[in-house]
Chains A and B, each alone.
Chain A
């Protein structure tokens, strides 16, 4: 192990900080994948994986990924809710890895809701 200089220690602090971001809780957004039995059967695990892959590719440390129970709309599964700070939560329906890619790019990274996949915004349904 090389002895550190001050510069190297500072660099190390930056990289190690990424390693513990989950513990510090500074998130600008939250992705909730619905993991009821119906969700899992419809492929919710793969959807979670797709989200985590996208996040990893971008080395994001400010979005949190979590699961929750059945959203009550089994026919629309897999469902995920995206809550970005300061905006109402958005539910997306019948997700696939491709849709996740698009949602990630447009909604999570750029702040634009991908209307075509939306199931509801806030607690209401979009007709």
Chain B
């Protein structure tokens, strides 16, 4: 058959776009391309996550590099005719930032993509993750080829050590060093485990790597196996990731068929196999010693280290565990060299890092940036700033046990050390942006609630300590904070960090400690003035209808689920505080040009005019014009 392809549609089928109906779009595209007779000229590729999930479902048209977002089934007919047949790209489906007049047609012009640097996600959106041929075409399996043909295991370990690659799973340990320790162990066999447990709520970096480029992880594992002298690898993926598991299965099978996995890889005497292990465990399952217990079929609880898994791991044998993002870096380091890699990033943190950028930010999605980029660049340039003109308050990095970084530190570069100095951590790459409407006490409470629930309970400090933190935080946000609470939280937080056995306990106080460090005044306001400055904590706020503004339209009365608002048409409405559950419905429905409903807290609640009788809006106006 003659090859007439001139356009390729890279349709994102990552988690977000999938949920948004990407497969319905694909179906519709197929139908329309067929009916316009364009099937030979235009082909369709289902890719992994493109990154700009906030714009999904989306696609990129190649070779023109045109980006279309927020696609709907009903747009497809027009799009196919206009762009793919007649060559007129459709403006209204292009990316349009809030305060611009003209859309950005090209992906490469969109600020969200501009400051990114793709090393791990080098193939994202360019290959079909279910085709090994696509991976090979992009220099895939070139690294393993180089390794078996011309490098000794020691050469490989040294190259990785020289590159400065550090683990992306949380602790940031030097990968080359870990491999070195394992290779020195005399005991055999040795095992290799790729960690794709990814238990952080809202994180999907690792999932995305597997879904968009599974072969890069396979190749990384193979190289690691060669370097440490292991012939058996496992990849631990959570069951909640069916698409990642499916793509990994397909990829392993293809690699086996081509002899890139199994016996005598590429004709060499190196053998390596990979098995998938599905885990459906708790957050703590991602911790390396728990994960090993889980693969062994035991209760997934952490154990004391040392000995480290590299010394005594799976079934008592030397075992290296690496995060999947760490592994996807390995093939490029081998093909492009340690020197190239170590030029990216800062003194202590080399290469790039993937983050999931979410929260109160205009552009949400998955980003890969060079280490050393500032938080400001991420929030304002890639993220496009805070929506609705609100003020930035803090960015929370490092997952549920990371810390909040305030605006005064937005110029800090992103690397392992700077984040730690700021009271947070790199973690696996969650990044939650908070605006002025976020209450730090509430946020701390939320994260401690999570870690408290996820604590395996084995060590007292983590189990009971988190419980005690939660109790105090709950009291404070309920308006029952006491003198001494702040000191108690600080001391308890520090001692949980010191006394806990695994990383969960050692980091869980971070959200509390970091917010106490930067937003102490807000804690004090809650405790001393019974005031929630961000107007979030329900017990400390009131909804109030301003009689000077109320026009008596009944909207709030109709919306109130607890019938806490009284009033009649054209009479000023009044909220009966006793019945109010503070759901905020009334504020939502009050028309913006009226804006009669406000939230108040602390002493402001005492200064409100309380109406004692029902009065018509007209009457009120008249009385108040004269007075």
Please tell me which one of the listed residues B4, B87, B145, B258 contacts residue A67 in the complex, with CB atoms under 8 A apart: B87
Q: Say yes or no for B592: interface residue by CB 8 A criterion.
A: no
Contacts of B1-50 to chain A: CB distance below 8 A: 2-8, 10, 37, 41
Q: Say yes or no for A13: interface residue by CB 8 A criterion.
A: yes
A36 to B4, CA, bound (A): 21
Among A13, A23, A35: residue with most chain B CB under 10 A: A23
- Tell me whether B136 and A9 are in contact (CB under 8 A): yes
A36 to B87, CA, bound (A): 9
Count A interface residues, CB 8 Å. Answer: 37
Count B interface residues, CB 8 Å. Answer: 40
Selecting from A48-56, A87-95, A99-107, A110-118, the interface stretch reads: A48-56
- Tell me whether A56 and B3 are in contact (CB under 8 A): yes
- Tell me whether A22 and B62 are in contact (CB under 8 A): yes
- Residues of A close to B134: CB separation below 8 A: 16, 19-20
In the complex, which residue of chain A has the Cβ closest to the Cβ of B36? Answer: A45
- Tell me whether B64 and A66 are in contact (CB under 8 A): yes
- Tell me whether B266 and A23 are in contact (CB under 8 A): no
- Tell me whether B137 and A64 are in contact (CB under 8 A): no
A4 to B259, CA, bound (A): 6
- Tell me whether B266 and A68 are in contact (CB under 8 A): no
In the complex, which residue of chain B has the Cβ closest to the Cβ of A52? Answer: B4
Contacts of A1-55 to chain B: CB distance below 8 A: 1-6, 9-10, 12-13, 16-17, 19-20, 22-25, 27, 32-36, 40, 45, 48-49, 52-53
Q: Say yes or no for B141: interface residue by CB 8 A criterion.
A: yes
Please tell me which one of the listed residues B87, B88, B266 contacts residue A6 in the complex, with CB atoms under 8 A apart: B266
- Tell me whether B87 and A35 are in contact (CB under 8 A): yes
- Tell me whether A68 and B2 are in contact (CB under 8 A): no
Q: Say yes or no for A122: interface residue by CB 8 A criterion.
A: no
What does the 1/0 interface line of B212-245 toward A look like (CB < 8 Å)? 0000000000000000000000000000000000
Q: Binding site of B, secondary structure by majority: helix, strand, loop or mixed?
A: loop
- Residues of B close to A25: CB separation below 8 A: 62-63, 65
In the complex, which residue of chain A has the Cβ closest to the Cβ of B64? Answer: A66
- Residues of A close to B126: CB separation below 8 A: 20, 23-24
- Tell me whether A67 and B85 are in contact (CB under 8 A): yes
Please tell me which one of the listed residues A4, A32, A53 contacts residue B4 in the complex, with CB atoms under 8 A apart: A53
A16 to B474, CA, bound (A): 59
- Tell me whether A4 and B2 are in contact (CB under 8 A): no
Contact (A9, B8) CB under 8 Å given A52-B2, A67-B85: no
Ordered by A's residue number, 22 sampled pairs between the chains whose C-beta atoms are within 8 Å are A1-B258, A2-B259, A3-B258, A4-B258, A6-B148, A13-B137, A13-B139, A13-B142, A20-B138, A22-B7, A22-B8, A22-B63, A24-B126, A25-B63, A45-B37, A52-B4, A52-B6, A53-B2, A56-B4, A64-B63, A66-B64, A68-B88
Not counting A12-B136, A13-B136, A25-B63, a sample of 4 additional A-B residue pairs whose C-beta atoms are within 8 angstroms of each other reads A19-B134, A24-B126, A52-B41, A53-B4
* Chain A residues packing against B (C-beta within 8 Å): 1-6, 9-10, 12-13, 16-17, 19-20, 22-25, 27, 32-36, 40, 45, 48-49, 52-53, 56, 64-69
